[in-house]
Amino acid sequence: MTCEQCIESIGPYFDGELSAEERAQVEEHLRDCPECTAAHRQLTETSSRLRAGLVRYEAPDVLRARIRSSLGEPARDAGPRLVPLASRSRLAWTRTIAAAAVVAVLSSGLTFVTMRGRAPASSLQQEVLSSHIRSLMPGHLTDVESNDQHNVKPWFNGRVNASPDVPRLDSLGFPLVGGRLDYIDGHNVATVVYTRRQHVINVFSWPAAGDDLAPVASSANGYHFIRSRRNGMESWIVSDLNPAELESFSRMLAR
């Protein structure tokens, strides 16, 4: 095995993607080649530093929507690109380092998600969550876009069985964005949309039988929920906003 072949194989070797025969060839070469051994050591140390120093942030809903939108755009085809032979080993090494960084980030992220795992959500909560996530796709957030409750509330007339309350909370830091129609639990649902900085807050409501239910908070998949029932209306508030601010919003909405 040549040094160029070894450098190209270090990434798959590090990730455990080589066959037993290929792995043995890489290990034999590393025993006799100080330069390739140093490259392998650098890759290992880089991965370790990334794992140890990684700072994890949860992207707000608006940013997630922008990423989904950009990923949905077709990639530009620049055509085949010829790489000089002398540059291929350097290119392979650069790609190997980049691959190690991605592996470290993804591995740490998966560990983080696993540690924060919660009990499986109810089917109704899952429907509400699916509707919330679907609304973050480009063009799905509102059917009527307005920060005036006198435009949003009348829009629901004739579209749902009961038009929801649409208070303006702009002065309290939760601007009204608009409303839309959803379908949850087998019937049309009114959804009023607010924001808090870069976070989207969906307020789902529909007529429901049963006794009043005091607000109950829960979380799943990085999102937070507040469910309540009052005067024959079921209400679900959903956002990735932190629980303290979401509960504050819920109290303002109830008043």
Tell me: the pLDDT tens digits for 42-78?
888 887 777 776 656 666 666 766 676 666 544 444 4
Return d(Cα 120, Cα 219) in angstroms, integer: 10
pLDDT in tens, 183-238: 998 889 999 999 999 999 999 999 998 899 999 999 998 999 999 999 999 999 99
CA-to-CA dists, residue 67 to 62, 63, 71, 202, 239, angstroms: 9, 6, 6, 20, 18
Amino acid at residue number 189? V
Helices (H) and strands (E) in the chain, counts: 8, 7
144-145 vs 223-230, strand pairing mode? unpaired
